[in-house]
Structure 1
Amino acid sequence: MSKPDGTTARAGSCLCKGVKLQITGDPFTFVVCHCQNCQKASGTAFLSNMFFKDKNVLITEGSDLIKRYDDSNTASGRTLGRHFCSNCGSTLFIRPSLEASNNDFVIVQASTVDDSYNWKPRKELHTDSKWDWIDVHVKPKEVKL
């Protein structure tokens, strides 16, 4: 759905559809993270992370179902708030801690987006933890985190 300013608004949700999001515009970057914490949070080999400005992600339903886990044992040393649906357990998004100097963005998990998109990952992070059988095709671009 296009908005009056020409940007596209996409729907997002968890598995049970109890939490719904509206995501506006394109991510300013898209990375695949192979760190062990993202592997554990996703239940698989990596997490596909799309970075949006905070103002571009709106929770439209089910905010009472969202729980937060403060992940302080990260490879970067920065605490990350991992948000998930308390009903179905779906990983939804990550927010940096409020103490972070740059905390005006939200990291939306690719599986949260319901509508189609043609975004491609631009970088892989923590490839030292990457599983040997994984071959991710990225579209390289300079990424500043």
Structure 2
Amino acid sequence: MPDQPTYTGNPNSHPPSSFSTNLSGTCLCGSILVTIKDDSLFDSPNGRGHLCHCANCRKVAGSYVSSNLAIEKEKVEIWDQKGTLKEYEDWATGSGKCVVRKFCGNCGPIASYAQASPDKVILKMGIFPRIPKPEAESFALHRHDWQGTHEGVAQFEIARGGKKLGE
């Protein structure tokens, strides 16, 4: 009988206090390293993360929702250690403005840069060992009926900061 696999990636094995000044993560193959330099990722009572239900983010995430963090560009460092970082210009957006999607050419999504928010980078949180609690959901109108809700998380019908669901 083959050995049982060793399961990795349990976020509970990484206390939020271990990320008091920064948070680093890699893509699946380890070629791309991303570091967020921010001392309040896990301190905000309302959370800092963002869940997006738009079709494009779902496709990039390969899931029913994308777990993101929109953060100031100057707080993020991305190292392409093996030359695998690629990009795709996504013009099929609700705003009609380009979203440049960066990804590892070997294994998957890393970050997005939206023309609508030129001072921010949108990081795909699945590459990190721990994910900050979400503070908001965008494109909540696109949620599946079977999805649960997250208490205290603002739900915007479409764009974050726009009309809230149920208003």
TM-score scaled by length of structure 1: 0.79
Q: Report what 2:152 is aligned to.
A: 139
Q: 1:12 aligns with which of 8, 12, 25?
A: 25
Q: CA RMSD in A?
A: 2.5
Q: Report what 1:76 is aligned to.
A: 95
Moved more, 56-65 or 42-51: 56-65
Give the counterpart letter for 1:139 in structure 2: G
Secondary structure of the corresponding residue to residue 38 of structure 1? helix
| CA separation of 1:76 and 1:30: change in aligned 2, threshold 3 A | farther
Structure 2 unaligned segments of length 5 or more: list them: 1-19, 42-46, 163-167
Moved more, 44-53 or 63-72: 63-72
Aligned residues: 134
The whole-number CA distance in structure 1 between the counterparts of 2:48 and 2:104 is 24
The question of 1:113 aligning with 2:128 is answered: yes
The whole-number CA distance in structure 2 between the counterparts of 1:96 and 1:44 is 20
Q: Tell whether the 8 Å contact from 1:83 to 1:94 is kept in structure 2 after alignment.
A: yes
Q: Report what 2:136 is aligned to.
A: 123
The question of 1:31 aligning with 2:46 is answered: no
Q: Which consecutive segments of 4 or more residues in structure 1 shift more than 6 A?
A: none
Secondary structure of the corresponding residue to residue 83 of structure 2? helix
Q: Report what 1:4 is aligned to.
A: none
Secondary structure of the corresponding residue to residue 148 of structure 2? coil
Q: Report what 1:103 is aligned to.
A: 118
Give the counterpart letter for 2:112 in structure 1: I
The whole-number CA distance in structure 1 between the counterparts of 2:114 and 2:150 is 26
The whole-number CA distance in structure 2 between the counterparts of 1:12 and 1:75 is 29
| CA separation of 1:138 and 1:72: change in aligned 2, threshold 3 A | farther
